[in-house]
Amino acid sequence: MKNIAVLMPLSTGAPTISGEALLSGDVLALIADSVICADESGRILFFNKAAEHAFGYRDSEVIGQHVEMLLPQRHRTAHAIEVRSFASGEGTASRLMGHRREVCGRQKNGKEFPAEAAVSRESVNGSTVLTVIVRDITERKALEKEREANCKRAGPSHQKRFFGGQFPCLPDR
């Protein structure tokens, strides 16, 4: 993929860096969240190192494949329809997919994991490119579950106080 971003100089004489240079320099490898770019039909164009780690695939295994391969089977058909609708800018999917929401990812080994995803749409050289930022929220979900269990064990009368406010059943950390 070429020309994803261009940094322009703030003053004259400063160097410019093209998106191609950024990608070839592995700048996107430094991003902690998964970054996946797909064309308007949902075929994967770019898959960063964080995505490789989160999903268990090498980029060479997913480039050219449909993004639905990264989802559990039960979500694939609906997702494919949403992606096409979002890419074309039509329907409710075009509004919903532009915001961060919880999804379920599927690793190469079949293991599912909770994630947050935000999808954006951009025209690049006359073609629509969809970019999804995916964050694995497994650890956060485990902490939420632990907090809920603490609340049930402690009952409503046991709450921690912090600066006069009440924060129910927070785990001790």
What is the 3-class SS of the chain, one letter each residue? Answer: CCCCCEECCCCCCCCCEEHHHHHHCCHHHHCCCEEEEEECCCEEEEECHHHHHHHCCCHHHHCCCEHHHHCCHHHHHHHHHHHHHHHHCCCCHHHHCCCCEEEEEECCCCCEEEEEEEEEEEEECCEEEEEEEEEECHHHHHHHHHHHHHHHHHCCCCEEEECCEEEECCCCC
pTM for the whole thing? 0.69
Q: Where in the chain is the domain with CATH 3.30.450.20?
A: 31-136
Of 4 and 58, which is predicted with more confidence? 58
Of 172 and 154, which is predicted with more confidence? 154
Instruction: Check residue 3 and give its pLDDT.
Output: 39
Instruction: Check residue 23 and give its pLDDT.
Output: 53
**Mean pLDDT across 147-158:** 71
Q: Is the pLDDT of residue 166 over 80?
A: no
Using one digit for the tens of pLDDT, what is the confidence trace for 31-44?
Answer: 889 999 988 888 99
CATH code for residues 31-136:
3.30.450.20
* pLDDT over 70 percentage in the chain: 68
Of 29 and 162, which is predicted with more confidence? 29
Of 160 and 27, which is predicted with more confidence? 27
Instruction: Check residue 113 and give its pLDDT.
Output: 95
**Mean pLDDT across 53-71:** 95
pLDDT band at 145 (very low <50, low <70, confident <90, very high): confident
